[in-house]
Amino acid sequence: MDYRDRHVVVTGGTGALGAAVVHTLIERGATCHVSFVHDGEAARFALRDHAQVITAKCDLTDEAAVARLYEAVPALWASVHLAGGFAAKPLGATGKSELATQLDTNFVTCFLCCRAAVNAMGRGGVGGRIVNVAARPALEWRSGAGMTAYTASKAAVAALTVALAEEVAKDGILVNAVAPSIMDTPANRAAMPKADHAAWPKVEEVAATIAFLASPQNHVTRGGVVPVYGRS
């Protein structure tokens, strides 16, 4: 996978999966434009001072801010949308504001970034790649019991991915998503200390799948919502 001289936006790039994606991409020559919301995220981001990393503070639910983020990227090749949030609550305990937060954090951010990426790639005229992040419950709805708002927001990401892939294929833009199960991160281990951590997919493994889907070497895959479950 050769990303030399290619610019890639990675939203949520300061998180556990995001850092793995950015590391994978810069190793292959990419320049990564990494968005963050809170200053603390950027301060903890180990790759923030790397020569191939450009960080930018951006509220991804703000339409104008997202447009500015993408307008600052020269010759955008790929856009990887990892920003999101998780909440587990039964439906009866989930209020409208909590539903709106899940939709904003997971779906609206993805929608706005997809739109900005498509417009930027259209201006470039050479196509590009978009990779979204859904989740296992987006494909296996029954597994979303107890986290219905989250499941619905991620299912919307999956539907957006497939519909958009069909819409922009003629422009040389290939759109896909990955759907991880619970990933092996320090936070998830702390939350579920008795789980079989060895069965969980590693963030580096999920990052490798994302890197391929976003690469110039992906010539034909579009409209996929790819399960990345490991052995879990």
Residue 184: the pLDDT is 87
| Helical axes 109-124 vs 148-168, angle rounded to 10° | 20
User: Confidence class of residue 220 from pLDDT cuts 50, 70 and 90?
Assistant: very high
- Give 44's Cβ-side CA count (13 Å radius): 13
What's the average model confidence in pLDDT over 103-124?
97
Residue 232: the pLDDT is 86
User: Confidence class of residue 89 from pLDDT cuts 50, 70 and 90?
Assistant: very high
**What's the whole-model pTM score?**
0.96
Query: Taking every pair of C-alpha atoms in the chain, what is the biggest distance, in angstroms?
Result: 50
Q: What is the pLDDT of residues 194-207, one digit of tens each?
A: 999 999 999 999 99
Domains annotated for the chain, with CATH where assigned, are: 7-228 (3.40.50.720)
Quote helix, strand, coil % in the chain, to nearest 5.
Answer: 50, 20, 35
Token match 């409209």: residue?
223
Residue 178 DSSP code: E
Instruction: Name the region of 121 (left: φ>0; alpha: ψ -120 to 50; beta: rest).
Output: alpha
User: C-alpha distances in angstroms, 171 versus 60, 74, 78?
Assistant: 25, 19, 14
Share of the chain above pLDDT 90, in %: 94
